[in-house]
Structure 1
Amino acid sequence: MNKLLRSLSYIFHPLFMPLLGVAFYYYITPHFVVPEIVQAKLVSLLILTLILPMLMFFLLNTLGKVKTIHLATTQERIYPLALNCIIMLLVIKRIITPTSAIALYYFFVGILISNMACLILALFKFKASIHMIGISGLFMFFVALGVMFAINLTGLLAFMALAIGAVATSRLHLSAHSNKELIVGFFVGLIPQLILVNYWF
């Protein structure tokens, strides 16, 4: 059980959430998109939102700014979150623009807002769960896509709800967060996506 709960923190790592959201959008969208464009965007996002943050982590680890990938203290979170905000700005300026995919654009705007909120909380010595921020934001995005495209996503949303519970259990089991930090993380991820739905429906 310990290994299973520990593995959930890696399987549902927040770095995977943006790419999963984009891949799922292109999978279910009824609009025609040139396959080469989809591939180019996915590769670009893979580099920017997954590979680049990992490389930055190793650099910050070498410099002694962070100790583990879990960013156990609020002080360790400041540099990675600030750098991730810059990456999200780059994504919405260069990769996912309003004219290319309005839903994805506001998805990333929501991610940026959640990152900034998490950064501000870290500056005030509060460690909101980044895992919960990532998965709750993705959950809300899936809900919005189901409504927007009139697609029944009940099975997927049920799985996501279970995954949110599993991630919360995992973080508690590992003593990585308190109940309060998990709850705050959940709403920091979900609320921006919920509010921004009004701009792309």
Structure 2
Amino acid sequence: MNFILKSISYVFHPLIMPLLGVLFYFSKTPRFIPEPVQYAKVFSTVLLTIILPLLVYFLLKTIKKVDSIYLKSTEERKLPLVINAFIISLVISKIFPADEIIELYFFFIGVLISTILCFIFTLLKTKASIHMLAASGFFMFAVLLSLHFKINVNGTIAMMAFLLGAIATSRLYLKAHTYPELLYGLLIGIIPQLFLFRFWL
């Protein structure tokens, strides 16, 4: 059980959630988007939302600005969150501008807002679960996308609901977060996506 719960935190790390949102969109959209365009968008997303943050993390760890990839204290979260907000801004302006794929544009706007809110929490000396933030943001995007395109993704939604519970259990078991911190992360992830839905409905 210990191995399984630890593995959940690693496998469903926040860094992969934006990529899952992009892959989910391309797998479900009824719109015609040429495959080379899809591959280019996915590749660029991997570079900016996974590879670049990992390189930044190792740099910050080398100069002793962070202790672990889980960013356990509010103080060590501040700089990575600012850098991540900048990276997400690049994704929005360079990969998914508003005049190309409107759904993914607002998905990443929501991710940016969630990141900024999480940073504000650190200024208040309060932690919000970044794992829950990222997973719940993707979960809400999947739900809203199914409503937008009028498609049945009940299986995906049920699986994501289960994974949200598993991630919360994992973070509690590892004593990485308290119940309020998980709730903060859940709300910070869901609310921006829900609020922005009206702009791309």
- Asked if TM exceeds 0.5, the reply is yes
Q: CA deviation at 1:35?
A: 0.8
| 2:24 paired with 1:15 | no
1:149 matched to which residue of 2? 149
Q: CA deviation at 1:124?
A: 1.3
Partner of 2:44: 44
Q: Tell me whether 1:76 sits opposite 2:79 in the alignment.
A: no
Question: Partners of 2:19 and 2:160 in 1: how far apart?
Answer: 16
Q: Distance in 2 between matches of 1:39 and 1:159?
A: 25
Who is 1:95 aligned against? 95
Partner of 1:170, secondary structure, is helix
Residue 87 of structure 1: how far off its partner (Å): 0.5
* Secondary structure of residue in 2 paired with 1:72: coil
Q: How much has 1:155 moved relative to structure 2?
A: 1.0
Offset of residue 106 of structure 1: 0.2
**SS where residue 100 of structure 2 aligns?**
coil
CA deviations on 1:18-65 (whole Å, 9 max, x unpaired) are 001001101111000011111111111100000000000000000100
Counterpart CA distance in 1 for 2:94 and 2:156 is: 30
Within a 5 Å distance, the mapping from 1:1-201 to structure 2 comes to: 1-201=1-201
Unaligned ranges ≥5, structure 2 = none
- 1:136-169 C-alpha deviation (Å, 9 max, x unpaired): 0000000011111111111110110000000000
Q: Which string of whole-angstrom CA distances, capped at 9 and with x for unpartnered residues, describes residues 66-87 of structure 1? A: 0100101001101110000000
The 4+ residue runs of structure 1 with deviation greater than 6 A are: none
Aligned residue type for 1:86: F
Distance 2:3 2:75 in 1: 28
CA shift, 1:99, in A, is: 1.3
Cα distance in 2 between the residues matched to 1:24 and 1:89: 21
- Give distance in 2, aligned partners of 1:68 and 1:91: 25
Two-structure CA RMSD over aligned residues (Å): 0.5
Q: How big is the shift at 1:11?
A: 1.1
Distance across 1 between alignment mates of 2:161 and 2:27: 21
Provide the rounded CA distance (Å) in 2 between the counterparts of 1:94 and 1:155: 32
What is the TM-score normalised by the length of structure 2? Answer: 0.99
Q: Which amino acid aligns with 1:111?
A: V
2:195 partner amino acid: I
Number of residue pairs matched by the alignment: 201
| Aligned mates of 2:26, 2:98 — CA distance in 1 | 15
Q: Structure 1 CA distance, aligned partners of 2:134 and 2:10?
A: 12
Cα deviation code 1:79-128 (max 9, x no counterpart) = 11000000011111111011110000000000000000001101111010
Using the size of structure 1 for normalisation, the TM-score is: 0.99
Question: More deviation in 105-114 or 145-154?
Answer: 145-154
% same residue = 51
